[in-house]
Amino acid sequence: MHTVYLAKQKIFDHQGKLFAYELLFRDHTHGIREFPTNIRATSQVLLNTLTNISTDELLGDKGIAFINLDEHALTSGIIDVLDKDRFVLEILETTDLNEKVLSRIKQYNKRGFKIAIDDFDCSAEMIKKFTPIFKYIHIVKMDVLSAQQQNLKNVMSKIKQLGIQVLAEKVETEEDYKKYIAMGFDLFQGYYLHKPEVIEMDRYKDATQMVILNLIRLIRTDGQTSEIDSYIKQRADLSYKLIKFINNQGKFHSKIESITQIITLLGRDKLLRWLLLYLYAELSDNPISEAIMSIATKRAERMEDDAHHSEKDKAYLSGMFSMLDALFDTDIKNVVKGLNMHKDITDLVVEKRGKFLTSFKKAEHAEREYLKQLLCNNFEKIDITQILYALELSNIHVDKTKL
């Protein structure tokens, strides 16, 4: 597995109580090496938030988070996967408020999302730019470092009269904090109160862009659910991330038994949005994972063929997920933990027991026989160090005196 990063910074109310977090893009432990486009940064933040870590684990049971968005993120549809009760849409000050963007802001407001404006400097230009959308805004984050103090006080007062909360952003000293409390700000954020906290997470190898694009094409052209199901089944990593995502929604209590069940529970529109988010954040695959994926797919197909017609989906998932430890280079228990998988699947994947064990062993035997023959036929071509690595990693003792 690879490590991915995310930062969160606390936002407080006027009583000093935690109000929310702002989620921020990071690409390593100490900050940002290279900032990508806004849409890519937003996508990566959302993907990490919704898939690589539990939302409750990141924000607490009832915590909410601000997510930075520009015109591309607002119109792409990638934020449609968000829970309106857990996320605040924070519009960047540089956002182009064209007609399409304005239409989306109205839609998200109507759907019940809270919307904020970021880095508002109280200048005449910014007031003119954002006045048309104030009726849809719930929070204005005022840049107290950039704004002229008299402007700040006057504009803050007028915005509060509209029923909008005002947040003092970039509060860096105790003196400033006390001043902005006295001035009447509702919310506060800045290094004096809390420096962004970097979160490290495991990122599982992502599916190829071609599979994602074909899935999006199928959904957009009203393809059969069976077709969508078969495409998702091509990739264990995609299936895993999809199950992880649906579990993080916290709205579905059924045990997951098949990909078709996920499509039905999630709905095509939300599935499409999730895939768009996934595509924006896509990274290239390691070639070795392709070989593992090929074996996992074939194993799953063999187990599906052997299963009773009522349990073919579970058998397929069992076979596909049985190689996740190799694919993600981690303990399988860590991979399936919290996935809410059906017991028949976890019995096979974690314990190597249960109703699918016989077909699993048959599939594994076929794989080993093929690989054994391939190894024997090509043994002279294999580098000795590669053999030693394989033996050592399998805890097989090598008598060094005989080498």
What does the pLDDT average to over 185-198? 95
Domain match, 211 and 309 both: yes
Is the pLDDT at 286 greater than 60? The verdict is no
pLDDT in tens, 80-112: 778 889 999 999 999 999 999 999 999 999 999
User: Which whole-number Å values give the CA distances from 225 to 145, 219, 266, in the listed order?
Assistant: 53, 9, 12
The total number of structural domains that make up the chain: 2
The residue with greater pLDDT, 104 or 229, is 104
User: pLDDT class for 65, splitting at 50, 70, 90?
Assistant: very high
Domain match, 150 and 24 both: yes
How confident is the model at residue 61, as a pLDDT?
Answer: 85
What does the pLDDT average to over 189-205? 83
Domain match, 191 and 45 both: yes
Q: What is the CATH number of the domain that holds 176?
A: 3.20.20.450
Question: Side-chain half-sphere of 3: how many Cα atoms within 13 Å?
Answer: 8
Domain match, 34 and 157 both: yes
Domain match, 195 and 211 both: no
Report the distance separating Cα 114 and Cα 112, nearest Å: 7
Most confident region among 50-54, 87-91, 214-218, 237-241 by mean pLDDT: 87-91
In sequence order, which residues have a C-beta less than 8 Å from that of residue 393 and are 6 or more positions away?
Answer: none
pLDDT in tens, 274-284: 776 665 554 43
φ, ψ for residue 316, nearest 5 deg: -60, -50
The torsion of the CA quartet 285, 288, 292, 293, rounded to 10 degrees, works out to 20
397 assigned to some structural domain = no
Is the pLDDT at 200 greater than 50? The verdict is yes
Range of the domain at 79: 2-202
User: pLDDT class for 51, splitting at 50, 70, 90?
Assistant: low
Is the pLDDT at 204 greater than 60? The verdict is no
Domain match, 21 and 161 both: yes
pLDDT in tens, 294-332: 788 788 889 989 999 989 878 887 887 788 777 656 678
User: What is the sign of the dihedral through the CA atoms of 45, 234, 219 and 214?
Assistant: positive
121 assigned to some structural domain = yes
Report the distance separating Cα 386 and Cα 393, nearest Å: 11
8 A C-beta contact, residue 166 and residue 11: no
Domain match, 330 and 238 both: yes
402 assigned to some structural domain = no
400 assigned to some structural domain = no
362 assigned to some structural domain = no
Domain match, 263 and 230 both: yes
87 assigned to some structural domain = yes
Is the pLDDT at 288 greater than 80? The verdict is no
Amino acid at site 290: E
Query: Across the chain, what does the average pLDDT equal?
Result: 83
Report the distance separating Cα 199 and Cα 22, nearest Å: 13
| Residue 137, burial from CB neighbour count under 10 angstroms (0-12, 13-18, 19+) | buried
List the beta bridge partners of residue 6: 25, 199
How confident is the model at residue 227, as a pLDDT?
Answer: 79
The residue with greater pLDDT, 243 or 345, is 345
388 assigned to some structural domain = no
What does the pLDDT average to over 132-141? 97
Domain match, 85 and 126 both: yes
Q: Residues in the chain, how many?
A: 403
Last residue of a domain, one of 182, 202, 222: 202
